[in-house]
Amino acid sequence: MAEMLPAGVATGTAEGTEPDGDAVRMLNTLQTNASYLEQVKRERGDPQVQLEAMRGFLERSGLKVEDLDRLNIIHVTGTKGKGSACAFTERILRNCGLKTGFYSSPHLVQVRERIRINGQPISKDLFNKYFWLVYNRLEETKDPVHASMPAYFRFLTIMAFHVFLQEKVDLAVVEVGIGGAYDCTNIIRAPVVCGVSALDIDHTSILGDTMEKIAWQKGGIFKPGVPAFTVAQPERPLEVLRERAQERKCPLYLCPELDEFEEGYQALELGLAGSHQRSNAALALQLARTWLQRHGCQGLGELKEVPPSTELVGRPVPLAPAFRPTDAMIQGLRDTEWLGRNQVLSHGPVTWYLDGAHTTSSIQACVRWFRQAALNQDKLHDGSEVRVLLFNVTGDRDTAALLKLLLSWVWGQDLDHPTLGPVTMLV
């Protein structure tokens, strides 16, 4: 729906004073997420067009690609768990006394959640300030050749870069939107380190319908000479990641399991529930340590020796050595919060279980977490408790198939589970 420009937008003032609500309403006119996905599909015939357009928008906003080098970026892609891995990484580095920026998507409640400083969504005032700064500069630089505005996600990405640069963060953790190679965040040319979380089938109309095609897209964020880490992947996708790394002259390493970091030391406590979070935490430890190491930090924990017999046997990618996590890393993993992911909310007799699972294997992991969390939850003596598991799907995913799996894995044929008691599903 078209909207009138709020007062001050057309005057050319970069520092507008419009209310936050007007900024959000104007942002929403730059297309919904569904519209953005359709735009990406239309442009995928010549994907370089997307990155060139993004560079053009960035320059029109007053920044050059080279300016992003100052952000000391950790760039993370993957299908599942990349947001959680980013959250772990950000919290560890914040615990080390660094001022952190964190750009993620999507948001749960408010769009400001996507752009965080020191773990907190930017304030309404900061959102308002930087939205109109970017919006007005883009308006002022329109001409017959550059007449368009960037779509919603591209705009927010540009805005995040402005926020992080002007607020002088020490580093920025940047989560890829979709894919990697042609994602608009991939105008980043010199990250400090890159990460790949677990791969799975998703966004097939954009990224391809096989794990190998998806791995090729994800490996597109690798940069020459920039170390990258991946969690364990199926054999063929891992080979594709290795090939992409070799093409791009990127040193790629496989993360050891979190057990390796605990061996001989204390068990690591994670702030995010679910056994699947252990691989995300292992990835975060490698990303954080590499960032600190490349910035000359000392006392990062002694590296464990990788036995020659296990380093390459059956692995197309060399195994990174585990190490003893520092106290700041241990505390960071424990303190990590990432709302809406394996989250339990209690309100009187009703307990809500929230997660963002959106692939078959994610649903399996969600079910394992839900069963354990529900069993651990205290029951009311009168038996009046109600457990609610929220299920929501967007985009071109097979909603019916995912819901069928969820129903069968949690309850079988009986919604009154003999162990969990009465459970309600809201769809």
Peptide bond into 321 cis (omega under 30): no
Q: Which residues lie across from 194 on neighbouring strands? A: 75, 228
Buried b (16+ CB within 10 A) or exposed e, 19-47: ebebbbebbeebbebeebbbbbeeeeeeb
Identity of the residue numbered 328: A
- Angstrom distances, CA of residue 4 to CA of 1, 9, 29, 134, 136: 10, 10, 11, 18, 14
Give the Cα separation of 194 and 77 in Å (integer).
Answer: 8
List, in order, residues 6 or more apart from 46 with CB less than 8 Å away.
Answer: none
pLDDT at 419: 52
Report phi then psi at 422, rounded to 5: -65, 130
Q: How far is CA 271 from the centre of its chain?
A: 17
Give the Cα separation of 90 and 95 in Å (integer).
Answer: 9
Enclosing H/E stretch for 26? helix 20-28
Identity of the residue numbered 389: L
Give the Cα separation of 365 and 382 in Å (integer).
Answer: 31
Residue 119 · residue 240 · CB < 8 Å:
no
Cα torsion 257, 263, 265, 269: sign: positive
Residue 93 · residue 100 · CB < 8 Å:
yes
Give the Cα separation of 79 and 214 in Å (integer).
Answer: 9
Give the Cα separation of 425 and 427 in Å (integer).
Answer: 6
* Its pTM surpasses 0.85: no
Give the Cα separation of 116 and 122 in Å (integer).
Answer: 5
Give the Cα separation of 184 and 75 in Å (integer).
Answer: 12
Report phi then psi at 212, rounded to 5: -65, -45
Query: Number of H helices and number of E strands within the chain?
Result: 15, 13
Give the Cα separation of 55 and 90 in Å (integer).
Answer: 26
Give the Cα separation of 115 and 402 in Å (integer).
Answer: 30
Instruction: Return per-residue pLDDT of the chain as tens, 427 residues.
Output: 333 223 333 333 333 444 467 899 999 888 655 655 566 555 555 677 889 999 999 999 999 999 999 999 999 999 989 999 999 999 999 999 999 999 999 898 999 999 999 999 999 999 999 999 999 999 999 988 777 889 999 999 999 999 999 999 999 999 999 888 999 999 999 999 999 999 986 665 666 669 899 999 999 999 999 999 999 999 999 999 999 999 999 999 999 999 999 987 789 999 998 888 999 999 999 999 999 999 988 777 667 665 554 444 456 799 999 999 999 999 999 999 988 877 888 888 888 888 877 777 778 778 888 877 777 766 655 566 788 877 777 666 677 777 777 777 666 544 445 455 555 555 5
pLDDT at 204: 56
pLDDT at 4: 29
DSSP 82-150: HHHHHHHHHHHHHHTT--EEEE-S--SS-GGGGEEETTEEPPHHHHHHHHHHHHHHHHHT--SSS----
Give the chain's radius of gyration (CA, Å).
22
Give the Cα separation of 122 and 76 in Å (integer).
Answer: 21
pLDDT at 16: 40
Residue 36, by phi and psi: left (phi above 0), alpha (psi -120 to 50) or beta?
alpha
pLDDT at 170: 98
